[in-house]
Amino acid sequence: MALKVELKPNERIIIGACVITNSDQRARLVIDGDRIPILREKDILTPDTANTPARLVYLAVQLMYLSPDPMAHHPTYFSLVRDIITAMPSAWPFIEGINNHILNGDLYHALKEAKKLIGHEDQLLAEARNLQIPDDGATERKSA
């Protein structure tokens, strides 16, 4: 079954090992092929934008997905997984899902699960930012 993709003006997409940039008008592509890695621009992370532990995990899975030899990226991925589980144990269900998809050779769904991990991390970071330390006046007394 063919995949239909509509690209916005100047939007990029990765198909296999190629980066395709649309012109200044909308375009509709019909892509027919078996197990060709395809990533829309909104789903692509770069080393510069992978600025949190979950985003680094996503980047490692993305590299596996796009690579002709996914196993070459396994050491990096598993090192990142050890670090994120240590820092954020609540990430385990997401990591378990990613691992299961990787073991089954379904890297596209591993990437989707990694996106859920990013959402979980974003939620935890937002909750941490919203925590307020109660000010009992002790700070003013110390500085006075």
pLDDT tens for residues 122-143? 999 999 888 856 565 555 545 5
What the block records as the tokens of 74 is 């396994």
**Secondary structure tally for the chain: helices H, strands E:** 5, 5
Kindly report the pTM of this predicted structure.
Answer: 0.84
Question: β-strand 18-21 against 3-7: which pairing, if any?
Answer: unpaired
Q: Tell me the one-letter amino acid at 71.
A: M
In the chain, what are the helix, strand and coil shares in percent, each to the nearest 5? Answer: 55, 15, 30
Q: What is the mean pLDDT of residues 18-31?
A: 93
Band of pLDDT at residue 35, cut at 50, 70 and 90:
confident
Strands (E) located in 27-132: 27-31, 38-40
Band of pLDDT at residue 6, cut at 50, 70 and 90:
very high
Instruction: Report pLDDT for 2.
Output: 81
Tens-digit pLDDT profile for residues 100-129: 999 999 999 999 999 999 999 999 999 988
What span, in angstroms and rounded, lies between the C-alpha atoms of 61 and 109?
10
Instruction: Report pLDDT for 84.
Output: 96
Instruction: Report pLDDT for 118.
Output: 97
What span, in angstroms and rounded, lies between the C-alpha atoms of 12 and 93?
32
